[in-house]
Amino acid sequence: AACPEGWVGYGGKCYYFSEKEGNWNSSRNNCSSFGASLAGIDSLQEKAFLLRYKGLPDHWIRLRRKQDQAWKYPNNNVPITFSSRFEVSGEGECPYLNQKTVGSSRCYTKRNWIFSKP
């Protein structure tokens, strides 16, 4: 797929790695204005690609959970089974990619974000 300028193509999707920071909700709203969504991670290969491209800052991704519940993609609320893919560290409700894996923190903290489309 041909991606817009400034976006990176991988596995039939286009990704945008922000240089700005925002909280999880503002990052998600920002994505919508581009016709995109926060990037999900559907395979270990996709995770490796995102880690390779994102640089040093932490970047928000699309999962969400309510306290002590399963991680879900916000639009369809289907629980994700992570055991086979990766663990999410931390006690927060909003996940982000750090240097090696997926961490989680409170949603109002500011981080970069990754959009993906379609």
Q: In the chain, where are the structural domains located?
A: 8-117
- The pTM (predicted TM-score) of the whole model is 0.81
**Residue 86: predicted pLDDT:** 59
Q: What is the pLDDT of residues 49-60, one digit of tens each?
A: 999 999 999 999
Mean pLDDT of 78-103: 72
Query: With the CA atoms of 50, 68, 70 and 59 taken in that order, what torsion angle do they form, in degrees rounded to the nearest 10?
Result: -10
**Confidence band for 84, pLDDT divided at 50, 70 and 90:** very low
Using CA atoms, how far apart are residues 36 and 61, in angstroms rounded to an integer?
12
Across-strand partners of 45?
A: none
The CATH number of the domain covering residues in 8-117: 3.10.100.10
Tokens of 95: 């996940």
* Mean pLDDT over the full length of the chain: 82
Residue 80, pLDDT above cutoff 90? no
